[in-house]
Amino acid sequence: MRARRVCEYSQQMPFDPSHFVDRFFSPFNPESRFYWPAVYSLALALVANIVWYNWRRRGTVAPPENSVKPWAFWLNVVFIIMLTVLFIAKAPFILFVILIAFNVGLLVYMYQFWLPPMETAWERERRRRSYFPQAERRKKRRRRS
């Protein structure tokens, strides 16, 4: 007895690049099955960004990272608002891709090229200050009665 396949097609569905390109540049349809998951993911991205910004880490965090974190937070908030406006305007999907790539590019620039020189300068200053004598706490004198 031969096992039968549940779903048999006589031929494969060919990949149509023109359909893909047409959908990529056509306005985003709110009746699409991807619309509400995209809206929920925008809300989730905003909540995750707020939680990341307010998360308190234990241990010492370098002051340069504390100075870059608000820039990254507000950059993400502005881009999430811009993505929301594009959703409402039913913009083509290519604009979403460009905007997300630009946001990621700015974040990579901030954390890979802008932050490391500030961190090395902070570390160098910390090492330099370690050579200076520090005032020690004075011990309290006990009164003799």
Q: Which residues contact 87 (CB under 8 A, 6 or more apart)?
A: 28, 35, 38, 39, 42
Residue 132: inside a domain? no
Name residue, tokens 């990621």.
104
Domain carrying residue 106: 33-54+63-121
Number of domains in the chain: 1
Q: Tell me if 116 is assigned to some domain.
A: yes
What is the tens place of the pLDDT at every residue in 24-70?
A: 777 777 777 777 888 899 999 999 999 988 887 766 667 777 788 88
pTM exceeds 0.75: no
Tell whether 82 is covered by a domain: yes
Residue-wise pLDDT for 109-124, tens only, equals 998 888 877 777 778 7
The percent of residues in the chain predicted with pLDDT above 90, rounded, is 26
